[in-house]
Amino acid sequence: MEQVRKARVIAAKESLVSIETDGAAIVKNEVGYVLLEKEQLKAEVLRVRGNTADMQVFEDTRGVKIGDEVRLTGEMLSAELGPGLLGSVFDGLQNPLQPLADEHGFFLPRGVYPDPVNRVKLWEFKAEAKAGDLLVAGAIIGSVHEGVIHHRVMIPFDEAAEVELLEVNEGEYTVDSVVARYRRTDGSEHDLTMLRRWPVRRALPQKLFKHRYAERLYPNEPLTTTIRIIDTFFPLARGGTGCIPGPFGAGKTVLQSLVARYATVDVVIIVACGERAGEVVETINEFPKTKDPRTGGSLMDRTIIVCNTSSMPVAARESSIYTGVTLGEYYRQMGLDVLLIADSTSRWAQAMRETSGRMEEIPGEEAFPAYLDSSIKTLYERAGLLRNAGGDLGSLTMIGTVSPAGGNFEEPVTQATLGTVKDFLGLSYDRAYKRFYPAIDPLISWSRYLEQLAPWYKENLSADWTRDVQGMTELLHQGDAIYQMMQVTGEEGISLDDFLIWQKSNLLDMVYLQQDAFDKVDVSMSRKRQLESFYFLKMLIDRKYDFNTKEDARTFFTKLTGLYKNWNYSAEGSEEYGRYQTEMTVLAEEVSLVKEGPCR
């Protein structure tokens, strides 16, 4: 740690404070405290100009005046990493909100910064390395049980060379107790605790000089969300990136909640960076009551919530997303699969715009900072698939929801995000208005992972999976083109063959692209059942049917749609499950030109 230096306030404008030193160097992004009579306000250096600097204060700056003393710490804005993070609710500076509320009530005090990680709780530490072992940064020396996961204790990430483990002690310890000692190559010895600190604006390193302790890999398998339209048509990769843009009321909150609940990951991190307080409170209240489908316990047991609502200081809102990503990287280094959902990155970008405006920087499009695009790219690049020092695979999958004003996907934040992520799940107000869930519009959404993961699909699902999904996607586009024509000419203006194509695309939309978020069976569909459902539906669609009139076709597809939805609501292996499937098969054969099976 650098020596603490002093400065003084020379100007204050809302959350931006200008300071001046007597010649001491100032470091960009270091943390300082504005000292008032009874309070100290945390701040971060954003811009340095000789012996003066601009700092953003993470608190209300009422009472700050010219001449007030500022204490510079030399430390970067950092997150505490260690056992006890799971199940916690933090603000953007990693202040634990529950202890603050317990001590100070519902209105959070200014200038109070409790320890993010409990310093009193004892953890049963078990060694996984022994004295004499030569280890590199990130290597595992032991572990504790943190709820439902195996929390690994690692060599500090900033060790630049191999170290020798001198001793490791099993037993019950607090997070800041010494559990091991090691020696560097220069002969210096250092204590090791279960607690780490890491600058949130800097990604956890993956390579240090000649000693590689983490290897970044190409995502090679999908992340199962159990939501059909995502897993089948617009898949996410484990360790990949995606975005969910959509207007107000399109169902972003429900969708991200179900993805967090059912996705095949070990740890979930929810970052509410500027959402309305009501939505955040609902999340905080619901997650502890929600049954975890993976463990049977509470979903909150493997969840961390980082929240800075729209009513909290804008500067802390901007830092919240970096805090969440750092926590995600930490658990990834243990070999765990982590899902981070940021809601919404539009509010995060707006916070950057406000700060940039106060600093009088040259604005970019719609007054966003000129570095908006690079900031978004740098953020999403921290996701990925890694092999840690012990050979275990860990992943950080990042999904950012975007809230463009008026649902305009051409605005800067959405466009910058689309140029970065590889999965775009665009929500449509029209589909949401029709009570479609999820309201993902298949005509504008896309995923680059569908072809990237083709080898996995070929080995685990079907040799023709990618081609078959693309064929069904083309059917949706054909159906939409015919529907647009019908809007002009009416049904009389199209042929019976075109009418059948539209009915088939509508069947696909109604029974496969939509799910019932409130049905205990249909809310979540395993990948095995998705495979069966997809090819059964493809068989029904590929058949050539013999209809005399469009009304006959409409009656058939209406009945088929009802049976298929009931099949979706039936538990796998139940009597109803088999009965509805048989009824659909018989119904299709009654009007099929080819009795023996599907036409290809």
In a shared domain, residues 367 and 384: yes
Strand partners for 184: none
pLDDT at 210: 46
The gap from C-alpha 250 to its chain's centroid, in whole angstroms, comes to 18
Residue 242 lies in a domain: yes
User: What kind and span of H or E run contains 414?
Assistant: helix 412-418
Identity (one letter) of the amino acid at 131? A
* 9-13 LR contacts (CB < 8 Å, sep 24+): 9/34, 9/64, 9/65, 9/66, 9/67, 9/68, 9/69, 9/70, 10/52, 10/66, 11/66, 12/61, 12/64, 12/65, 12/66, 13/358
Structural domain includes residue 202: no
Task: Compute and round to an integer the Cα radius of gyration of the chain.
Answer: 28
CA–CA distance from 179 to each of 1, 55, 64 (Å)? 22, 38, 43
Does residue 214 belong to any structural domain of this protein?
A: no
Structure tokens, 379: 């953020």
| 138 and 170 part of one domain | yes
pLDDT of residue 380: 96
CATH number at residue 58: 2.40.10.170
Neighbours of 331 (CB within 10 A): 28
User: Is residue 188 assigned to a domain?
Assistant: yes
Binding site feature residues: 246-253
pTM equals 0.94
Residue with tokens 């997150």: 79
Same domain, 472 and 539: yes
Token pair of 243, please?
């975005």
Q: How far apart are CA 226 and CA 205, in angstroms?
A: 33
Q: Which domain-ending residue is among 460, 487, 517?
A: 460
Q: Flag whether 71 is in a domain.
A: yes
| 259 plus 286 within the same structural domain | yes
Per-residue pLDDT, 343: 87
Identify any residues that bridge with 241 across adjacent strands, giving them in sequence order.
Answer: 398
Residue at 104 is within a domain? no
Q: Do both 163 and 248 map to the same domain? A: no
- Number of domains present in the structure of the chain: 4
Same domain, 424 and 485: no
Q: Give the residue numbers of the binding site for ATP.
A: 246-253
Q: What is the pLDDT of residue 592?
A: 84
Looking at the fold, whether 547 and 517 belong to one and the same domain comes out as: yes
> What pLDDT tens digit does each residue of the chain (600 aa) get?
456 789 999 999 888 999 999 888 899 999 999 999 889 999 999 999 999 999 999 988 999 999 999 999 999 999 999 999 999 999 889 999 888 888 888 777 888 999 999 999 999 999 999 999 999 888 999 999 998 899 999 999 988 889 999 999 999 999 999 999 999 999 999 999 999 999 999 998 765 444 455 688 999 999 999 999 999 999 999 999 999 998 888 888 889 999 999 999 999 999 988 766 667 777 888 888 889 998 899 999 999 999 886 666 777 778 899 999 999 999 999 999 999 999 889 989 988 998 899 899 999 999 999 999 999 999 999 999 998 888 889 999 999 999 888 788 999 999 999 999 999 999 998 999 888 999 999 999 999 999 999 999 999 999 999 999 999 999 999 999 999 999 999 999 999 999 999 999 999 999 999 999 999 999 999 999 999 999 999 999 999 999 999 999 999 999 999 999 999 999 999 999 999 999 999 999 999 875 444 433
Decide if 137 is inside a domain: yes
| Contact between residue 145 and residue 295 where contact means Cβ atoms under 8 Å apart | no
Q: Do 516 and 444 fall into the same domain?
A: no
Cβ atoms 271, 342 nearer than 8 A: yes
Find residue 396's DSSP bridge partners. 338, 384
Q: How many angstroms separate the CA atoms of 568 and 583, rounded?
A: 14
Hey, is 531 helix, strand or coil?
helix
pLDDT for position 273: 84
Are 495 and 444 in the same domain? no
Is residue 568 a part of any domain in this protein?
A: yes
d(CA 78, CA 158): 14
Same-domain status, 379 and 469:
no
State the residue for tokens 């630049």.
160
Within its chain, how far is the Cα of 288 from the centroid? 19
Task: Convert 443-480 to b/e letters by CB count within 10 Å (16 or more is b).
Answer: eebbbbbbebbeebbeeebeeebbebbeebbebbeebb
Region for 154 from its dihedrals, namely left if φ exceeds 0, alpha if ψ lies in -120 to 50, beta otherwise: beta
d(CA 38, CA 203): 35
Q: Are 490 and 448 within one domain?
A: no
**Strand-strand pairing, 40-49 and 52-57:** antiparallel
Q: Domain with 584 in it: what CATH number?
A: 1.10.1140.10
Last-in-domain residue among 399, 432, 460: 460
Claim to verify: residue 535 and residue 427 sit in the same structural domain: no
- The dihedral formed by the CA atoms of 306, 416, 236 and 424, expressed in degrees to the nearest 10: 110
| Measured distance between the N- and C-terminal CA atoms of the chain, rounded to whole angstroms | 69
User: What does the block give as tokens for 446?
Assistant: 């896309």
Domain with 128 in it = 123-194
CATH number of residue 145's parent domain: 2.40.50.100
Asked if 426 and 367 count as a contact pair (C-beta separation under 8 A), the reply is no
Closest CA to 33 of 83, 86, 95, 77: 77
Contact 122, 172 (CB under 8 A): yes
